[in-house]
Amino acid sequence: MVVLLSCKEDQAPILDFSDPFGDSSDENVPVPGLWESERPILISEQSESQVLIIDSASKGELWSWKASEALSAAEAAWFRQIDEAKAVYNREYVLLTASSGGVALVRIADKKIMFYTNARGNPHSAEVLPDGNIVVSCSTTSDGEGDALKLYKVDSLSAYVPKEVKRYNLTFGHNAVWDLKRAVLWATDDQNLYTYRYNGDSADPELIKQEVFYGLPDKSPHDLFPVYGKDQLYLTTATGIYIFDIASETFSAHPHGKANIKSISDGPQGFGTLVIEPNMSYWTDRLTNIRGVSVFFKPGYKMYKARWFIDNPFSYPKDNPYVQLN
């Protein structure tokens, strides 16, 4: 069921519209350490094929990762166009995808690659399952490798995994979100929002598509991500931003909807709501809040998605009992 309503601002799941950030860095603001930063931001950036974490107050860089510094030239090429990065496992790891094929799980502390593959098929998002296996959402391609969810068995003895173990057709795959409360994976194709059960069998993993699904309110769905502190999901599309309320099974139009938003992310009180709104092709050199106020700007950057670097209780337990990464 789809309900297209304009939410009143006080009903919208935007916890704070305030913006304490300037348009350029303040030289008098020191750059803290990564774990001392009060409002760090995780960014996928394509001009330098990197994932970085910046401090939103000082605008200073706290952490970065480039495949060229960790892999052979041939393998690093899989990560030329990094399009998403998520903080997982209590923010100790980053899960990233690249539309040029690459998918990787990287440990923050030492930048060690725990898992990587060339998924092909224009990967746009990935998610860790409760036992540590990984699912990748691949968009449309001409090589027959896209339009799919791909399920990978993570091998603790070998970071490189050459091939998925299962493939599920999903036209225009752009997103994947694990729902801890319901133990399902949420993902969209070009028309509907679906859920998948996971069998939890690490040796023979399987996703089971559920019969109930939900028609989308608009074409070209892109980002799907939890609304912080709520039982809801953000969905960005070609022309707007929507909120899917899981209990009522309805979409509502965001009161500050914008077209062609690549990512949306909010957080606890005072964090505001980040959006990536392209100002050149698919990218932007300026990260803003949802009202268009600048949060971070760097000439020449091609930022594709940005998330607050915070815990995600919608998707992951506080302490993950299933995964022991070495």
- Flag whether 320 is in a domain: no
Distance, CA of 127 to CA of 293 (rounded, Å): 30
| Other CB atoms within 10 Å distance of the CB of residue 163 | 11
| Other CB atoms within 10 Å distance of the CB of residue 36 | 11
Give 74's DSSP letter.
Answer: H
Tell me how far CA of residue 51 lies from CA of 24, 60, 80, 99, 217, in angstroms.
21, 14, 11, 14, 31
CB 15, CB 266: distance < 8 Å: yes
- Flag whether 321 is in a domain: no
Q: Output the pTM of the full model.
A: 0.92
* pLDDT the model gives residue 141: 84
Residue whose structure tokens are 């995994």 = 161
- Flag whether 324 is in a domain: no
- Flag whether 316 is in a domain: no
* pLDDT the model gives residue 14: 34
- Flag whether 96 is in a domain: yes
- Flag whether 3 is in a domain: no
Structurally, how many domains does the chain consist of?
1
Q: What is the CATH number of the domain that holds 201?
A: 2.130.10.10
- Flag whether 317 is in a domain: no
Query: How many Cα atoms within 13 Å fall on the side-chain side of residue 100?
Result: 14
Smallest Cα–Cα separation from 307: which of 114, 177, 218, 173?
177
What is the domain extent for residue 15? 9-308
Task: Give buried/exposed letters for 275-292 (b at 16+ CB in 10 A, else e).
Answer: bbbbeeeebbbbbbbbee
Which pLDDT tens digits describe the chain residue by residue (326 residues)? 444 443 433 333 333 334 444 444 455 789 999 999 999 999 999 999 999 999 999 999 999 999 999 999 999 999 999 999 999 999 999 999 999 999 999 999 999 999 999 999 999 999 999 999 999 999 988 788 999 999 999 998 999 999 999 999 999 999 999 999 999 999 999 999 999 999 999 999 999 999 999 999 999 999 999 999 999 999 999 999 999 999 999 999 999 999 999 999 999 999 999 999 999 999 999 999 999 999 999 999 999 999 999 999 999 998 866 555 66
Distance, CA of 219 to CA of 204 (rounded, Å): 35
- Flag whether 2 is in a domain: no
* pLDDT the model gives residue 140: 87
